[in-house]
Amino acid sequence: MKTLAVDTGGTFTDLVLWSAGRLRILKAPSTPNAPEQAVLNGVRQLLGDADEPYLLLHGTTVGTNRILERKGARTAFLTTEGFRDLLHLARQDRMELYALCPRPRPCLAERALCAEVPERLAHDGTVLKPLDTSELNRLIRRWKREGVEAVAVCLLFAYADPTHERMLKALLEPHFAVSLSSEVAPEFREYERASTTFLNAYLIPPMRRYLDALESGAHQQGAQQTLISHSAGGLMNLRLASALPITTVLSGPSAGVMGAWALARQMGFHRVLTLDMGGTSTDMALIDREPLRTSLGEIEGMPIRLPRIDIHTIGAGGGSLAYLDPAGGLRVGPQSAGADPGPAIYGKGDQPTLTDAHAVLGHLVPQVFGFGQFELQMERAHHAIAPLASALGISIEQTAQAMIDQARAKMARGLRTISSGRGISPESCALLVFGGAGGLHLSALARLLGIRQWLVPPYPGVMSAYGLLWMDKVHEAVRTLLMPFPTARATAIEQVLLELRAECEEAMEATDELDFQVYADVRYQGQSHELTVPFDVAQPHWAGEAFLQIHAQRYGFTLPERPLELVNLRLRAVALQPKPAGAVWEPVYVADYADLPTRVHLWIEGEPMEVPVLTREQIIPQRPLPAPALLVQPDTTLLIEPGWDVMADALTGALYGRWVG
């Protein structure tokens, strides 16, 4: 059966069809007002009217955008008596340490829609005060009058005993979409659990509408099943995606990291920094034998307590807008022109973006861009940047270079955060760049970070869609234990593992053959945060040794005399999926190179020069490419700076660059 992978981004929707050992690719404009239309249009272009069954794998930004744009459902919050302001109080830390008037953490909950219910549990689940639902009907009537669509329920210590939350769900579910903390994030730390549960409820109604429309349209086009990628680097069915939409916040970026990991393994690289630059943002991750994972992240300053690949995102993409701040300084991003109107050279907008800056510096070739779906209007880039140049008192080319330099400085800072910030030198890594805009910054970023090796996939503009083909079905279940370690009771751990296994089996398909991996969150007693390490019930001391090793690498010290504590137990269930190893790339769109220049004049780091123009079809494996050069293909453009020895890998088709000075 054919497999079609689709990743929806802010500007483009990328598609990769895997069939009969071949990979056919397509890049189509996104349709922000109805994201499923871009998916269905792309399916129609790739499959035509053929009535053959296929498997649809999908990475989506619907949930992410709903949070960023504040367009989720109107959501109420229900918690234990005395904790109504839990979401608004948050943690008593400061996002801006030296601000005289620090901003509070963002919160999407309306205080008027936050309510309490009489009940109380102890930390071990003992009932201190039984649940009293006598006032619930009044609340339900008021919330319905006020247009509430969803309710988030987070009771104190519900992770220890979910009975009270389940009783409330039974009463609320006939009227609203309901999200329980004991189902979404059954871990200790009330604020993070409440935030995650609220955001999940906030997304349930719009995500259900989107997934229903997508499933209906895809089914009409022959889709036998649709699987959605989640933030932890795996696939899940539509039922889970509808119930836990908060897990899709890193749906597309996690797929890109998984694809990068697959490519790095095939080429023999084990420590890699990945950079995925699209139209709106840039995502970065560290692969050290495998992608680094975490159980706590943020979106717009609001915590999400769920398993996820550790991805660092900044607001710098091809569509990032350049402007002058109130002091007259140049700024780039995080605001973006998005898919509509897009960069000025697309013909709709007139505000300057990073893509326009590259056009001004000669880095883009109009004849090969966007699979023939865009006619670049190069003169519009100059017109868009001219007012900035005039205000700054410098040339248009200098302004364009300043815009690019600022974006690169942000990206370099982000890459240092995920490498040096974790005790790993960037110089020890290879840099693997993908996304439609990433290749224009690759050489410069490697130079800024002292990295001497880089990799570029054959078609980096569709890497996140390609990464979907390398993902397995994955579900992770977690329970909080808070036990001394390694002297924790084995019988208690085994009982928890049985419960976690049952949860994983319920979440996966009945036909899936599951492989189980056990992990533990371990910390020093009294420590605020924990580290996740592999766990073996028969050999618990191994987890302690792994904790000490990772702690030394991450923080530079250990405390051998301090006792350890087992905080959470995690069980990851994996159902292996077929992989496209050895598949041959076959673009749907064949560029017309008749008018393609053989050389172009451009600017690199403020220096004008003439460089050769190469196409993907001209690359011969194991034969060096000239440097500097401009490599153009329908999904991306690669700017190769002087000082790099570059050639294509015979097995994967990826480009490998090595610094020779």
Each residue of 607-659: pLDDT tens digit?
899 999 998 888 888 899 999 999 998 888 999 999 999 999 988 889 999 99
Torsion of CA 578, 579, 584, 585, to 10 degrees: 110
| Mean pLDDT value of segment 521-525 | 94
Number of neighbouring beta carbons within 10 Å of residue 140 = 18
Question: What phi, psi does 182 have (nearest 5°)?
Answer: -70, -15
| Confidence at residue 374, expressed as pLDDT on a 0 to 100 scale | 66
H-helix or E-strand spanning residue 193: helix 190-220
The C-alpha atoms of residue 59 and residue 235 are separated, in whole angstroms, by 9
Q: Could you read off the pLDDT of 385-425 as tens digits, one per residue?
A: 999 999 999 999 999 999 999 999 999 999 999 999 888 99
| Mean pLDDT value of segment 91-109 | 83
| Confidence at residue 372, expressed as pLDDT on a 0 to 100 scale | 59
Percent with pLDDT over 90 in the chain: 66
Q: 73-77, 184-188, 509-513 — which is least confidently predicted?
A: 509-513
Under a CB-based contact definition with an 8 Å cutoff, are residues 641 and 454 in contact?
A: no
What is the bridge-based pairing of β-strands 302-304 and 297-299? antiparallel
Q: Could you read off the pLDDT of 275-294 as tens digits, one per residue?
A: 999 877 889 999 999 999 99
Q: Could you read off the pLDDT of 158-197 as tens digits, one per residue?
A: 999 999 999 999 999 999 999 999 999 999 999 999 999 9
CATH class belonging to 473-575 = alpha beta
The C-alpha atoms of residue 249 and residue 230 are separated, in whole angstroms, by 7
Question: What phi, psi does 541 have (nearest 5°)?
Answer: -65, -25
The C-alpha atoms of residue 295 and residue 501 are separated, in whole angstroms, by 19
Residue 590 binned pLDDT confidence (cut-offs 50, 70, 90): low
Residues 6+ apart with CB under 8 A from 291: 233, 257, 258, 261, 285, 309, 310
| Confidence at residue 555, expressed as pLDDT on a 0 to 100 scale | 87
Under a CB-based contact definition with an 8 Å cutoff, are residues 368 and 617 in contact?
A: no
Residues 6+ apart with CB under 8 A from 464: 7, 9, 14, 59, 252, 253, 255, 256, 259, 276, 434, 435
Under a CB-based contact definition with an 8 Å cutoff, are residues 187 and 193 in contact?
A: yes
H-helix or E-strand spanning residue 262: helix 251-266
Q: Residue type at 90?
A: A
Please name every residue paired with 273 in a beta bridge, in sequence order, or none if there are none: 286, 431
Number of neighbouring beta carbons within 10 Å of residue 447 = 17
Kindly state the DSSP code that residue 440 receives in the 8-state scheme. Answer: G
| Confidence at residue 239, expressed as pLDDT on a 0 to 100 scale | 95
| Mean pLDDT value of segment 353-366 | 91
Under a CB-based contact definition with an 8 Å cutoff, are residues 25 and 13 in contact?
A: no
The CA-atom distances, in angstroms, between 243 and each of 107, 179, 193, 487, 625 are 22, 8, 16, 37, 50
Q: Could you read off the pLDDT of 438-462 as tens digits, one per residue?
A: 999 999 999 999 999 999 999 898 8
Rounded to the nearest integer, the mean pLDDT of the chain is 91
Domain ranges for the chain: 72-206, 320-405, 473-575
